């Protein structure tokens, strides 16, 4: 069996598109000429390069990707570059600032990190789609999870923009070598949907933080509340590979075009409907749910949705797949605590917080039943908690049920 990540001789190995004609970040940045933040060097309709074109969000899409067909539109890279000034403002407004020392550039750093993440997603996604085939890297989803974890770590280590990596599959954070160390911390779950039996709709979750301390990173740099997230997203491996992503300016969806091995903007400024009729929860745990959760579910199912329709259960068993449906169509995703997991099952730092960031950016709410998930400070790298996220009306209904229960218990 060939080594994971090694270049295969067979062009049909699932990685051919990644090796053929893929432009590097440096090439795109050089073509776009945006390192001084003043102008872009863009191709005209006839293909000539046009100098000194101002960075303007009103520029037509057919002038945004040098070297690619005009009909392509935005990629993640060109989207970030086109949003340069907005990103710097978001960093300043959040109090995170942007480091101008040693010639560093925050937008360039984010582009490099996102390029590493999309490379990992494409690499893992190719193997997910081939899972079980004779020449696949493995037929075992658990082994694939280990391979996915190493792919993410090795890819992010090599971009020289990260100082620490936190993975769901590593007990301790990974400190990047000093000679390759940057100023960002990336937290991630490299492959979701691996319960027994594994779900067909697997995915990945990631969040990006700025390192707060000087010098070597420490545990305090990791245990930041979700409000400090610079960027977050998730990937969904389905009939197509989709990334939903936010830098704090709303949620945008990018779909992988396999002919170019590029993620193309397909869902701009996604908004969760204010209310929905679909709820997602593993009702197989109903007998193990605590009394407040059982009471809440009884009230939720007996109460019609805001539009008067009857509530319906839809549960895939993969958090990314269930939440993606919730973001696109409304409703609520929940994973309450139960007897076997009294603190909750989902991890705050690299699962709940990045997804809560996306949900709030899309206009929804994300709560642990008492307060917003983004306000909770992790007590450890693998801090667990119950999760309720989705449409504003539905999450408010759930938190209202819990609040009334607490008030009644207090009165008793």
187-243 residue pLDDT tens: 999 999 876 556 668 899 999 999 988 889 999 999 999 999 999 999 999 888 999
Torsion of CA 235, 240, 246, 252, to 10 degrees: -170
Lowest mean pLDDT among 68-82, 358-372, 391-405: 68-82
Per-residue pLDDT at 397: 97
Q: Report the C-alpha gap between 171 and 44 in whole angstroms.
A: 51
pLDDT at 400: 96
Going by pLDDT thresholds of 50, 70 and 90, the confidence category of residue 22 is very low
Look over the chain and give the mean of its residue pLDDT values, rounded to a whole number: 81
Check pLDDT > 50 for residue 6: no
- For residues 310-321, give the mean pLDDT: 93
CA distance 122 to 87: 25
Higher pLDDT, 283 or 100: 283
Instruction: Note the pLDDT tens digit of each residue in 166-179.
Output: 999 999 999 999 88
Q: What would the pLDDT profile of 39-96 be if each residue is shown by its tens digit?
A: 333 333 333 433 333 334 434 443 444 554 444 578 888 888 777 777 777 776 655 5
pLDDT of residue 372: 98
Residue 81 parent element (H or E): helix 76-82
Percent of the chain, pLDDT > 90?
Answer: 57
Residue 25: both structure tokens together: 């970040």
Yes or no: say if 202 and 193 are a contact pair by the CB < 8 Å rule. Answer: yes
Q: Which of 93-102, 118-127, 190-199, 384-393 has the lowest mean pLDDT?
A: 93-102
Q: What percent of the chain has pLDDT over 70?
A: 75
Inform me whether the pLDDT recorded for 396 exceeds 70.
Answer: yes
Confidence of residue 32 (pLDDT cuts 50, 70, 90): very low
Residue 200, number of CB atoms within 10 A of its CB: 14
Q: Is the pLDDT of residue 282 over 90?
A: yes
The pLDDT of residue 301 is 95
Highest mean pLDDT out of 32-36, 256-260, 405-409: 256-260
290 falls in which pLDDT band (50, 70, 90)?
very high
pLDDT at 198: 60
Based on the number of CB atoms within 10 Å of its own CB, is 124 exposed (0-12), middle (13-18) or buried (19 or more)? buried
Residue 27's pLDDT is: 52
In our burial notation (b when 16+ CB lie closer than 10 A, e otherwise), range 293-331 reads: beebbeebeeeebbeeeebeeebbbbbbbbbbbbbbebb
Flag whether the pTM goes above 0.85: no
**For residues 94 and 406, which has the higher predicted lDDT (pLDDT)?**
406
């Amino acid at each position: 069996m060939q080594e994971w990540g090694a270049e295969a001789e067979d062009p049909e190995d699932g990685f051919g598109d990644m090796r053929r004609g893929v432009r590097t970040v440096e090439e795109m940045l050089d073509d776009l000429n945006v390192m001084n933040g003043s102008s872009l060097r863009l191709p005209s309709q006839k293909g000539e390069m046009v100098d000194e074109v101002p960075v303007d969000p009103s520029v037509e899409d057919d002038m945004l990707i040098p070297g690619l067909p005009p009909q392509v539109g935005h990629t993640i890279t060109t989207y970030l570059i086109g949003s340069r000034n907005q990103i710097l403002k978001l960093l300043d407004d959040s109090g995170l600032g942007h480091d101008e020392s040693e010639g560093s550039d925050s937008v360039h750093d984010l582009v490099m990190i996102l390029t590493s993440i999309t490379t990992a997603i494409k690499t893992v996604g190719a193997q997910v789609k081939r899972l079980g085939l004779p020449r696949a890297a493995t037929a075992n989803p658990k082994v694939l999870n280990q391979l996915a974890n190493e792919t993410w770590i090795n890819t992010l280590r090599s971009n020289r923009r990260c100082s620490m990596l936190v993975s769901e599959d590593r007990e301790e954070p990974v400190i990047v070598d000093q000679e390759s160390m940057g100023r960002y911390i990336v937290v991630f779950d490299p492959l979701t949907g691996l319960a027994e039996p594994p779900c067909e709709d697997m995915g990945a979750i990631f969040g990006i933080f700025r390192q707060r301390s000087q010098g070597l990173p420490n545990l305090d740099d990791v245990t930041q509340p979700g409000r400090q997230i610079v960027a977050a997203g998730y990937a969904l491996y389905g009939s197509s590979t989709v990334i939903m992503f936010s830098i704090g300016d709303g949620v945008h969806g990018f779909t992988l075009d396999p002919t170019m091995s590029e993620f193309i903007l397909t869902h701009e400024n996604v908004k969760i409907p204010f209310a929905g009729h679909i709820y997602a929860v593993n009702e197989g745990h109903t007998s193990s749910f605590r009394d407040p959760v059982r009471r809440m579910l009884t009230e939720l199912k007996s109460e019609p949705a805001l539009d008067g329709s009857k509530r319906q259960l839809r549960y895939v068993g993969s958090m990314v797949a269930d939440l993606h449906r919730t973001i696109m169509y409304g409703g609520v995703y929940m994973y309450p605590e139960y007897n076997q997991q009294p603190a909750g099952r989902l991890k705050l730092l690299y699962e709940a917080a990045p997804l809560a960031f996306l949900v709030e950016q899309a206009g929804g709410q994300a709560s642990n039943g008492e307060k917003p998930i983004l306000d909770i400070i992790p007590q450890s790298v693998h801090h667990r908690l119950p999760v309720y996220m989705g449409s504003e009306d539905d999450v408010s209904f759930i938190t209202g049920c819990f609040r009334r229960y607490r008030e009644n218990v207090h009165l008793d």
